[in-house]
Structure 1
Amino acid sequence: MRQLILDLLPETPPSFDNFVAGGNAEALTGLATWLAPSSREPLFYLWGEAGAGKTHLLRACQASYHDAQSDPDLAAMVSDAAASDFHAVDHVETLSDSGQIVLFHLINRLCGSGGRLLVAANLPPLQLTLREDLRTRLGSGLLYRLQALSDADKLAALGEQAQARGLVLPREALHYLFSRAPRDMRSLAALLAAIDRYSLEQQRPITLPLLREVLQTSLDL
């Protein structure tokens, strides 16, 4: 069901403006300070559970992005490492042995050249099952934890997104959707877009019967 929902979502580039912060104001402030030209800290490390928004922020920073989950050897990084002095590596916990060596050498190079590295993982550095010298390097930078959004935060964000679209969603409609869809914000935003489109096509207001139709026809529930 989640993939069906995601297929409905227009490709909107991740940015700081469309990131739902929730209780992560401190981490966002720290990241913004680190990104400032005056910052001299080479490494910024984000950690937290899946769905907390780590990938969103890594992509929003406009760095050369690499996903260790799909490229555990960081083979793509080897080919373009010298072309950029700002890299982001996601899902560091999934690095292979060779990928760990690549990242270790990249950190050393960036530290020496004044470059920057933004990394993300599901655990803090010392709890990762990586080689010791890499864990030490990763732990030497700025560390921030991203907290997953609470249900109240997600409901509030969903309501704000509906308002931005000009949609009138009764509170019971929000709770109805929230109880029947995946609860990550990307899926919820995709569902909201589908509802908006369906309502316009049908020229009908958003009611519980219309929501049921969207869930049944668009998401094959």
Structure 2
Amino acid sequence: MNSEKLEQVWQEVCDQIKSYNNIDPTQVNAFFSRLHPQAMSEGFLMLTADNDFIKTWIERHYAEFIKQALADLYQVPFTVVIEVDLAPAVPAPATAQRSGGPSETAPTIAGEAASAKTPTPAEPAAPAPPQNSAEHAAPMTTPNLAGTDADASSTADGPAAANPESANPSVAGMENGADGPTSTLTFENFVIGDSNRMAYSMAVAVAEMPGKAHLNPLFIYGKSGLGKTHLMRAIQNYVNETMPHLSVVYVDSAELLSDYMEASAAHDKEKSSYKNFKTRYEEADVLLIDDVQYLQGKKQTLDIVFQIFNKLTSQGRQVVLSADRAPKNIDIDERYKSRFNSGGTFDIQPPEIETKLGIVKSFVEEYRESEGSRDFDIPADIQMYIAESSSSNIRELKSAVTKVIYQMTFFNQPNLSLDDVRSLLENHFSGGPSKRLTIADIQKEVETFYRVSHAELVGKKRAREIIHARQIAIYLCRQMLDLPFNDIGKKFNRDHSTVMYSVTNIEEKMKENRELREELETLRQIIREI
């Protein structure tokens, strides 16, 4: 069979698989783009995968579907063989050749066990999509639900707390040790959608070949609860599993700051303390720093991070950073912004309905597997209600699913109706307009964000930065409070037509300007957390 015909047959097989129930077509598209048909005869198909990760994932999760599709199309049973294509042998990254033997495992990360992580969902590039895990365990006997990317009890990522996107309550004990496997935060249990596909793809690329110049550093940003830490932990897990000779260090900014303060405080008494602090990070082959926005205003710590950053990247060792905003919106020196932006910078947007529904389904499937309850399911209308009602924060969505699961199992109510679930989750979701917010609240946060005074925001000055802040504040008042234009105008000393123009202008700019959308999403998050 010639290659053109083989590709055509393979496309038919893929289309057949996507027609099956309980198959997510977006995941098939992403995963199967990394498979290539090599040979086919009666009852036999040979495929090659880009790497071991793809091969293993396909064999575990899709091999039977491939065989079923072939049998449905050709009415004969098939043997399917998947091999790794080693033809384009890629040289090992510089990091892998830095030392002859295995690197020492990084030291304990304090506070990881106190945090809980949520995964989540963005754009093109080929890597593979898996399924999400859970978080927000209920205060009862907790099933082994996979970890997510945010602290179940926190409403925002705060510098004083352990990283809210890090651990899983069900495996907290495992994560309180060295930088080894971090529970279930892997590429396999990350649900991919249009909102996160590009960030996911780049994370996989870095995990497969750490230290490549065009993705060093890799900077992933997006608001809390969208899956940044899940991707960072997935990189950590993948490198630990496939390249155990490399030293991988994950740290959130709160821990990094604490480490630095302790080392500095002890410096006079024990001169080795400061050296040991730097050595831990400078000897990493892959260094992952989470929530770097919390280092703003911490000049001395930033200087040290900058030194470590420059040393590692100059030696071809990989640095991965995450934040809740783009580098340009972090209040740090321009040289830091420039360096943070010098590799690959990718955002994670709030997930669309389809992705949230996929997360709900994967969470239910994970519960079935962990509990051995293959017949358990949540009705489709309830799953859709949860996906549509939840905010963009995936931890909120997953905790809603957890509540429903416990209501159905622990409280023995397997026949929950949609009305029952509406009552159960009546006060759970934070999405929708806030009734407690005021125009003054929004004005204050916009003034702080853009560094303008209240007099400037509501006054007559027409400097570009002031006009921009004013229009953003008006737009957010209209969107978040749903007030009439006249009522908003009175608080800004503007008339109805000016307010209407401001809203329309921002809406038009958002269509073309991704950075503006990111600014607005950051502001919404800040305002919601008041």
TM-score (norm 1): 0.78
What is the rounded CA distance, in whole Å, between the counterparts of 1:91 and 1:81 in structure 2? 16
Distance change >3 Å, CA 69–CA 151, structure 1 → 2: farther
Residue 20, structure 1, aligned to residue 191, structure 2: yes
Do the aligned residues in 2 keep the contact of 1:64 with 1:87 (CA within 8 Å)? yes
Query: Which stretches in structure 1 are left out of the alignment for 5+ residues?
Result: none
Aligned-residue identity in percent: 21
**In structure 1, what is the equivalent of residue 450 of structure 2?**
none
What CA distance in whole angstroms lies between the structure 2 residues aligned with 1:39 and 1:68? 22
Question: Given the alignment of the two structures, is residue 30 of structure 1 paired with residue 189 of structure 2, yes or no?
Answer: no
CA contact (8 A) 1:67 1:89 kept: yes
| Residue identity matched to 1:20 | V
Q: Residue 6 in 1 paired to residue 136 in 2?
A: yes
Distance 1:145 1:28, change over 3 A: same
Listed one character per residue, the Cα deviations across residues 153-181 of structure 1 (whole Å, up to 9, x for unaligned) are 21232134324524322233224545776
List runs of 5+ in structure 2 lacking aligned partners.
Answer: 1-115, 117-134, 139-168, 172-182, 237-247, 263-276, 369-373, 429-530
Q: Which has the higher contact order (CA 8 A, sep 6+)?
A: 1
Whether 1:185 aligns to 2:356 is no
Q: Which residue of 1 aligns with 2:359?
A: 157
Aligned counterparts of 1:197 and 1:72: Cα–Cα separation in 2: 38
Q: 1:59 to 1:169 in 2, by over 3 A?
A: same
User: Is the 8 Å Cα contact of residues 74 and 99 (structure 1) preserved in structure 2?
Assistant: no
Deviation at 1:194, TM superposition (A): 4.7
State whether structure 2 residue 270 is matched by structure 1 residue 107: no
Q: Distance in 2 between matches of 1:195 and 1:54?
A: 26
Tell me the CA shift for residue 114 of structure 1. Answer: 2.3
Aligned to 1:131, which of 329, 333, 342? 333
Structure 1 residues 50-104: Cα deviation after superposition (integer angstroms, max 9, x where no partner): 2221111112211411211454466286362134221111111111112211210
Q: Rg bigger for which structure?
A: 2
From the superposition, tell whether residues 58 and 74 of structure 1 become closer, same or farther in structure 2 (CA, over 3 Å).
farther
Hey, what does 1:54 align to over in structure 2?
228
Report the more deviating stretch, 68-77 or 143-152. Answer: 68-77
Between stretches 63-72 and 207-216, larger displacement belongs to 207-216
Q: Following the alignment from structure 1 to structure 2, what is the Cα–Cα distance between the partners of residues 124 and 183?
A: 18
Structure 2 counterpart of 1:142, one-letter code: G
When residues 70 and 150 of structure 1 are mapped into structure 2, their CA distance, relative to the original with a 3 A threshold, is farther
Whether contact under 8 Å (1:68, 1:74) holds in the other structure is: no
Aligned position for 1:143: 345
Q: Which residue of 2 aligns with 1:92?
A: 292
**Following the alignment from structure 1 to structure 2, what is the Cα–Cα distance between the partners of residues 152 and 200?**
26
Name 1:66's counterpart in structure 2: 251
Partner residue of 2:377 out of 168, 177, 185: 168
Q: Kindly state the Cα deviation for residue 120 of structure 1 after the two structures are TM-superposed.
A: 0.8
Q: Provide the rounded CA distance (Å) in 1 between the counterparts of 2:360 and 2:400.
A: 10
Say if 2:289 and 2:321, in contact at 8 Å, map to a contact too.
yes
Q: CA deviation at 1:151?
A: 3.4
Structure 2 distance, partners of 1:195, 1:189, is 10
**Does the CA-based 8 Å contact 1:73-1:99 persist in structure 2?**
no
Task: Tell me which residue corresponds to 2:405.
Answer: 196
For 2:341 and 2:388, locate their aligned partners in 1 and report how far apart those are by CA, in whole Å. Answer: 39
Q: Choose the corresponding residue for 1:118, options 320, 343, 347.
A: 320
Cα drift, residue 125 of structure 1:
2.1
Moved more, 139-148 or 24-33: 24-33
* 1:6 to partner: Cα distance: 2.1
Q: For 1:13 and 1:71, locate their aligned partners in 2 and report how far apart those are by CA, in whole Å.
A: 23
Moved more, 122-131 or 50-59: 122-131
For 2:380, give the aligned amino acid.
Answer: R
CA distance in 2 between partners of 1:38 and 1:128 (Å): 25
2-structure distance, mates of 1:81, 1:60: 19
Return the offset for 1:186: 3.0
Q: What letter matches 2:235 in structure 1?
A: C
Change (3 A) 1:174 1:183: farther
Amino acid at match of 2:381: E
Distance 2:425 2:279 in 1: 44
C-alpha distance 135-111 of structure 1, shift in aligned 2 (>3 A): same
Q: Quick one: distance in 1 between partners of 2:226 and 2:404?
A: 25
SS of residue matched to 1:120: strand
TM-score (norm 2): 0.36
| 3-state DSSP of counterpart to 2:288 | strand
